[in-house]
Amino acid sequence: MSVNGIGAAGYPAWQGARKAQQNTAGKSLAESVNNVAGKKGHIVYMKTDDMLYSGGNGSGLSFYIKYAEGSTDDDPTVVAKGVDENGDEFEQTIHINKINPKSATIVEMRALEAYTGVEKQNGFSSLPMGTGNMGLNDRRDFMDMFRNAISDMNLLSQKKAAAYYQYSMQAYWDFMNKR
């Protein structure tokens, strides 16, 4: 049963169908339910001095990023380790110069954010809203997301927020133009 698009589980009905579809790929419904029921919570990585980034999002994705051994000025390379939205451990090696903000994962953009040193306003992310539901392998056009966020903030007369997103977007354009 759903009321105004909100399913019995407490989230929009369309999202519930999508989650069920994603979670049952290759698994029986019983395995999926037992897997979710058996989890005690999310893993959170506390940032240490050698980490460039530590955090996650609302999907359950949680990770940290460090410079990789052998990283150079010409080929800055990082390693991201953590757990994906399904609780499975992952490790990725990311070559910063190969990141394309027009088609990037949230992990790649967090690596680029840390590498470029884009100033975080009041400790918040320099990335636009809408990344909270991204999974490990989801790709988005972050430049388009910035344009939408700037437009939305201008529409809402949030001039400071629009200017901040414009600053952040420009930093990523500058990165792409230097490659």
Contact criterion met (CB below 8 Å) for 139 and 102: no
88 and 170, same domain (yes or no): yes
86 and 20, same domain (yes or no): no
The per-residue pLDDT string of the chain (179 residues; one tens digit each, 9 = 90 and over) reads: 444 444 444 444 444 444 444 444 455 544 544 455 455 566 777 788 899 999 989 899 999 999 999 999 999 999 999 999 999 999 999 999 999 999 999 999 999 999 999 988 776 788 998 888 999 999 999 999 999 999 999 999 999 999 999 999 999 999 999 87
Q: How many helices (H) and strands (E) does the chain have?
A: 5, 6
Percent of the chain having pLDDT more than 70?
76
**Residue 105 domain-assigned (yes or no):** yes
**Residue 43 domain-assigned (yes or no):** no
**What confidence score (pLDDT) does residue 126 get?**
87
74 and 160, same domain (yes or no): yes
Query: How many distinct structural domains can be found in the chain?
Result: 2
**What confidence score (pLDDT) does residue 13 get?**
44
Contact criterion met (CB below 8 Å) for 65 and 110: yes
Domain of 8? 2-38
13 and 57, same domain (yes or no): no
Between the alpha carbon of residue 24 and those of residues 13, 20, 32, 149, 179, the distances in Å are: 17, 6, 6, 33, 41
Between the alpha carbon of residue 117 and those of residues 91, 125, 167, the distances in Å are: 23, 11, 12
70-103: per-residue pLDDT in tens?
999 999 999 999 999 999 999 999 999 999 999 9
**Residue 97 domain-assigned (yes or no):** yes
Buried b (16+ CB within 10 A) or exposed e, 92-126: bebebeebebeebbbbbbbbbbbbeebeeeeeebb
**Residue 162 domain-assigned (yes or no):** yes
Q: Give the integer Cα–Cα distance in Å for 82 and 67.
A: 15
Would you give the DSSP letter of residue 56? E
Spatial CA neighbour of 129 closest among 112, 108, 151: 151
**Residue 45 domain-assigned (yes or no):** no
71 and 142, same domain (yes or no): yes
Sheet holding 89-95, edge to edge: 51-56, 62-67, 77-83, 89-95
65 and 133, same domain (yes or no): yes
**What confidence score (pLDDT) does residue 44 get?**
76
Q: Give the integer Cα–Cα distance in Å for 28 and 40.
A: 21
29 and 80, same domain (yes or no): no
